[in-house]
Amino acid sequence: MPHQQEIAMLRRELEMLMHERQALLQVTGASAALIASLDPEALPVGAVESADLVATTLNALSEESLQDALMAAHAHAEMLRE
């Protein structure tokens, strides 16, 4: 019986991590879309520095992770429109 409890606990933990990953992908994708749409000429210096920090962090992601993030953000935006 303890073995079953451990399996159930691990399953809950994995589900929680998958939900958290999905939320992080949505935030990352939305951030990427926002950064891509900004005009740095129209932003105050502080905002440009913050946008640069976000862009640098996004650029450090693998192409696959960034693609997953953009797809998650797009899917979330579509869901909100319905």
Contacts of 30 (CB under 8 A, 6+ apart): 73, 76, 77
How many Cα atoms are found within 13 Å in the side-chain-facing hemisphere of 36? 10
- What pLDDT score was predicted for residue 82? 80
User: What is the three-class DSSP state of 61?
Assistant: coil
- What pLDDT score was predicted for residue 4? 92
The tens-digit pLDDT sequence of the chain (82 residues) is 679 999 999 999 999 999 999 999 999 999 999 999 999 899 999 999 999 999 999 999 999 999 999 999 888 888 888 8
Query: For the chain, what are the domain ranges?
Result: 2-81
- What pLDDT score was predicted for residue 1? 61
Q: Are 70 and 33 in contact (CB under 8 A)?
A: yes
Of 21, 23, 32, 27, which is closest to residue 60 (Cα–Cα)?
32
